A and B are shown apart, each in its own frame.
Chain A
Amino acid sequence: MSLIDVQGVSKRFGGLTAVADVNLCVESGEIHCLIGPNGAGKSTLFKLIVGIYPPTSGSIRFGDADITRERPYARVQRGMSIKMQAPSVFKELPVRQNIHVALQQHRAARNLADEQDRLLALLDLKDDADKPAGALAHGQQQWLEIGMALALQPRLLLLDEPTAGMSPEETYRTGELIKSLNGEGMTIIVVEHDMTFVRQIAQRVTVLHLGKVFARGPLDEIIRDPRVAEIYLGKTHHA
């Protein structure tokens, strides 16, 4: 059963069409990667799914509900959660409070402190818990934002370039975390450029190019597709 079903969605900004007639269906319990060169429309598609932008046309269903015109907070309350491309944390608030604000949305007060400590330990941010979030290194801010997204216990987790600014070791750990969350039944969509990371986690891949779906399928097939190499690397393809 599909958890998110994007049908014929387009988004125009004045004369620029950022996303054009995109269909995307992600099954429940899947890790789905969105890849494509810069400007392909991946982040815009994420923002359409989570409701930051209203689509110019098309529809989006989440489970059984049509959420096309719903505001972002309502989509989050249905079980959607996003980590944005640029770290989006409450920079002047302590790390602990960033997690707290996210947790209090879904947790009873008596469980809050324990869950907060568990998440801080998972994110390896326990020693920095009282620092302002803005004082963290870029990679740590990424982790914090992932933690805030996880605190909502989402059914669908959207991660936009989750490993940007991370070391190879941190990137690997992020991949393992994503796989472990998926093992617990969470559906995850990831926008990523790092193909090593994509290989580590992806089950199915959709390639976007110039705002349109260029290819989709299992990762192995996508990697072997010479057209994908062409749009990524600018190689001339001779059929």
Chain B
Amino acid sequence: MLSLVNGSQTIGNSRGFWLAFLAVLALALIYPIFADSYDVGNFSYFLIWIFMALGLSLIWGYGGMLSFGQTFFFGIAGYSYGVLAIIMGGGSMTILALVLSVLIAALAAAVLGYFMIWGRIGGVFFGIVTLAATLSLAFFLGQTAGPEWHIGGARLNGFNGMKGMDPLTVGDIYIEGTLLYYVMIALILIVYLGLRMLVNSSIGNVIVAMREDPQRAEMLGYDVRKYQLLTFAVGSGLAGLSGALYTSWGQFITPSSIGLPAAAMPIVWVAFSGRSDLTATLIGSFLLLFGFQTITIYSQQAALVLMGGLLLATVMVMPQGFIFGIAQLVSSRWKRRPRPKKKRDPDRDAHSQMRRS
């Protein structure tokens, strides 16, 4: 079983790592017993964003496509959940609304991605187009304040945002508070392990190869466009999952959760954490979200400035990401521990020396 989630595309493949993982999971599971419901609710809120961060890690870190538009898909799914939950009547139908809204976000990514990837838009232009789409959606939704902007009984409400949708519900039970927290933990577990399986599979090998050199990957017989589209759709579907869960959690969504400051946040989380590793992204994003929320209580401006400073520090000091860099440092120290000397084969050493000279 572990062989499916372990591999060269992820750090943390040892038995020690998985034991630590289980310990953290156990702590996460017992946390609500010791914490008050307000803190548990806050934790659920941080966890909502983890899916978007993991999706961006897949698209950018593994696939090499810098998407500035993850809040585009977050917004599409968030508004879709709101509209569907209202027009389908709430209750247990909210579960279907959640699934459909994630699929709508993935479909939107597939359509946008098709035109970008088949149109050979790459590099910095990929970021520009996705950002343009994000800003267009945010501005469009901002001007939907009039009563004519509605889908069925669901009014979009412009900058004030949509409200009135049910949270996720099963039968008569609202999924909120501690129950929502456990649902989040379960979803993060499924998504994290699922993504580890994906990136360590043969598909993941191709995704990483196309990041390194798309032409070489194509010269090995892979239609890299299809792999890029798959990566973009899956990663954006995860942004959609964050969006739908966000709307369900707060029972509202506004265009400000899509606009420029919101769109920049996932880039900061993933860049700071280490975009090319899922575990680093998971840990780093959680720490940043926790820190950001804590500082926001005192000053939202200070929190934003800190995020900008962290992005600058990452780019200038540790471009591969702080969490990833620290993990690599610890790993290399661990490997450098003195070990019993092996007997050396002089013939082999001489041959090896010749080949390098």
Contact = CB atoms under 8 A, between A and B. Distances in A.
B205 A101 contact: yes
A235 interface: no
Interface in A171-227: none
A71 B218 CA distance: 9
Nearest to A106: B221
B356 interface: yes
Given A73-B223, A76-B218, A148-B220, 13 more contacts: A73-B222, A76-B220, A82-B219, A84-B216, A88-B216, A89-B213, A90-B216, A93-B209, A94-B8, A109-B202, A124-B355, A140-B355, A152-B220
B239 to A, nearest CB: 26
Contacts of B209: 90, 93, 101
Contact of B220 (A52, A94, A102): A102
B216 A105 contact: no
A41 interface: no
Contact of A73 (B205, B213, B218): B218
The interface residues of chain B, by DSSP majority, are classed as: helix
Interface in A92-143: 92-94, 97, 100-102, 104-106, 109, 124, 127, 137, 140
B205 A100 contact: yes
A124 to B, nearest CB: 7
A149 B202 CA distance: 18
Nearest to A72: B218
Interface string B205-221: 11011001101111111
A168 to B, nearest CB: 13
A149 to B, nearest CB: 8
A104 B202 contact: yes
Interface string A36-50: 000000000000001
B332 interface: no
A93 B222 CA distance: 17
B324 to A, nearest CB: 13
B58 interface: no
B352 interface: yes
Contacts of B223: 71, 73-74
Interface string B259-277: 0000000000000000000
A77 B221 CA distance: 5
20 contacts: A71-B218, A72-B215, A73-B221, A76-B221, A77-B221, A81-B219, A84-B219, A88-B213, A88-B216, A90-B208, A90-B212, A90-B213, A93-B212, A94-B8, A101-B205, A105-B221, A124-B355, A127-B352, A140-B355, A148-B216
B258 interface: no
Interface in B256-307: none
B238 interface: no
A104 B205 contact: yes
A88 B218 CA distance: 12
Contact of B219 (A76, A92, A100, A140): A76
B224 interface: yes
A108 B81 CA distance: 43
A72 B221 CA distance: 7
Nearest to A91: B212
Contacts of A148: 216, 220
Interface in A42-72: 50, 52, 71-72
B319 to A, nearest CB: 13
Given A91-B212, A93-B212, A124-B355, A101 B217 contact: yes
Contacts of B219: 50, 72-73, 76, 81-82, 84, 88
Contacts of A102: 220
Given A71-B223, A73-B222, A73-B224, A89 B205 contact: no
Contacts of B220: 76, 101-102, 105, 148, 152
A76 B219 CA distance: 6
B205 A92 contact: no
A99 to B, nearest CB: 11
A74 B224 CA distance: 11
A68 to B, nearest CB: 17
Contacts of B8: 93-94, 97
A124 B348 CA distance: 12
A106 B8 CA distance: 21
B212 A92 contact: yes
Contact of B215 (A88, A92, A152): A88
Nearest to A104: B202
